[in-house]
Amino acid sequence: MFSLQALLLDHVIPSIFDAAVTFVLVLVLLKIFAVKNLATRFAFLFIPLLKPFIVLVENKAWVPHFPSHFFQFGLRMPDPLGLIKAPEFYTTSIASGFPSFTYNRSVFAIVAIVAIIAILLVLVGRWVQLFLFLNSFKKEERLSKSDYPHIYEILDKLVSKYKVKRPELVLTKKYQFVPFSIGCKSPIIVLSKNLIDTFPKEQLEIMLAHELAHIRRNDNLTGWIALILRDIMFFNPLIYSIYRKIEEEKEGICDNIALEKTGASAKVVANTLLDVAIFRKKIEATQKPRYPSLAKGFLYNKSALERRVNSIISHKPGNNRFRILNLALCPLKVFAFILLLLVQPYVALIYKGKLLLFLH
């Protein structure tokens, strides 16, 4: 039996509420403890993206019932598999506290179900389109070592520092993209002739170091996960802010890794970032290539340029930024991470034993 009310009250609204509460808790935690390590920040910021999805797909939620309390709040455990049995008084309160709005076999139910299926098809279509677009670069011409020996010289030097398998270099003629990497198992770095001819060797080294950092950290995989979670929860406006914040932290991590691995000054790395942004703007102003709209944000990894530059300038070397979950074995960080990931806040309004509102 389809119930729009159950969908909204038990899934959609709690998911939005959870995203807001968890996002605020994470930001407060990072602020109070002055967490500067970007890899740690990245790990914590993934929590308000993951937990609302868990709430969205939960089978049933429950909250302790205290008839004498009109307003109550507390903590509960997420239960996406429905393993925690709801107390009998909870189901009774729900039955008596909410009017019954069911639309079984009605036109409304059919329209709602068709709309949900249509949305899912659109989302899957977007992902497939993006995947095919990215995968098409693997068929493009490989960068000639004889024509661009200085690029391979830079790459070989960096690969030994990163201790990774040397990725393939692709020279795209269709688009004048700034450098980007794709693939997880067999990654490639995509370059354009205009880019190679425009930037000096020192700046090209910084760009390649940045992309190798993405490869070393498996950011292509986490990027897909974050993108899919964002699209599934498209109805939640906060998810887009969380997603942008994650992308910003990810780019900042790779900027700082490039700074350390190349040995360049912070000024040179920051200037390279600005020059790349100007290069991209010029390309966008003169060309309008046809590619999926989703690809623009995915490839360019949009983030706040000023904050990235400030992060480069204020960076202090010595932190291991390769690990995605860089909690540095600090008991406090580990405890906070697990607490935020597992514990679910809730707010309930109860009147004469009837549950009027339950947000979790």
Q: Does 211 reside within a domain? A: yes
CATH number of the CATH domain containing 172: 3.30.2010.10
**Rounded Cα–Cα distance for residues 214 and 50 (Å):** 21
pLDDT per residue over 240-283, tens digit each?
999 998 988 888 889 889 999 998 888 888 888 888 888 877 77
Task: Count other Cβ atoms within 10 Å, centred on residue 52.
Answer: 26
- 8 A C-beta contact, residue 175 and residue 192: yes
Can you tell me the mean pLDDT for 283-300? 65
End-to-end CA distance of the chain: 23
CB 353 within 8 A of CB 73: no
The answer to whether residue 125 sits within a structural domain is: no
Do 304 and 222 have their domain in common? yes
Q: Are residues 92 and 169 in the same domain?
A: no
- 166 and 294, same domain (yes or no): yes
Span 106-117, mean pLDDT? 72
Shared domain for 347 and 295, answered yes or no, is no
Residue 138, pLDDT score: 84
- On the question of pLDDT at 79 being above 60, the answer is no
Is the pLDDT score of 323 beyond 60? no
In terms of domains, do 54 and 164 share one?
no
- Read off the pLDDT of residues 10-34 as tens digits, 9 standing for 90 and up: 778 878 888 888 888 888 888 887 7
* 333-350 confidence digits (pLDDT tens): 666 666 666 666 666 666
Average pLDDT over residues 301-311: 67
Among the ranges 108-112, 147-151, 352-356, which has the highest mean pLDDT value? 147-151
107 with 166, same domain: the answer is no
Based on the fold, state whether residues 162 and 306 are members of the same structural domain.
Answer: yes
Residue 137 inside a domain? The answer is no
Strand-pair category, 180-182 with 354-359: unpaired
CB 12 within 8 A of CB 230: no
Digit-coded pLDDT (tens) for 171-209: 887 777 778 898 888 899 999 888 898 899 999 999 999
Please indicate, yes or no, whether residues 162 and 284 belong to a single structural domain of this protein.
yes
Instruction: Report, as an integer, the average pLDDT of 209-223.
Output: 91
Least confident among 145-159, 172-186, 202-216, 301-315? 301-315
Q: Would you state the torsion angle of the CA atoms of residues 98, 3, 344, 32, taken in this order, to the nearest 10 degrees?
A: -100
Residue 133 in any domain: the answer is no
Domain identity same for 60 and 183? no
The per-residue pLDDT for 169 is 92
Go through 155-164 and write b for each residue having 16 or more CB atoms within 10 A of its CB, e for each that does not: beebbeebee
By residue range, what is the domain housing residue 8? Answer: 4-120+331-359
- If asked whether residues 233 and 116 sit together in one domain, one would say no
Res 63: pLDDT: 45
Backbone angles phi, psi at 280, to 5 degrees: -65, -40
**Number of folded domains that form the chain:** 2
DSSP assignment of 111-134: HHHHHHHHHHHHHHHHHHHHHHHH
Mean per-residue pLDDT of the chain = 76
Residue 176 falls inside a structural domain: yes
In sequence order, what are the residues at sequence separation of 6 or more whose Cβ sits closer than 8 angstroms to the Cβ of residue 219? Answer: 213, 250, 254
- Quote the distance between the C-alpha of residue 204 and its chain's center: 27
Asked if residue 24 is part of any domain, the answer here is: yes
Quick one: 290 and 164 in the same domain?
A: yes
Note whether residue 28 is domain-resident. yes
pLDDT of 95 above 50: no
- Quickly tell me which residue has 């455990």 as its tokens: 77
Q: Do 148 and 22 fall within a single domain?
A: no
Q: Once rounded to an integer, what is the mean pLDDT over residues 74-85?
A: 55
What is the per-residue pLDDT for 104? 46
Residue 126 lies in a domain: no
Q: What pLDDT score does 227 carry?
A: 92
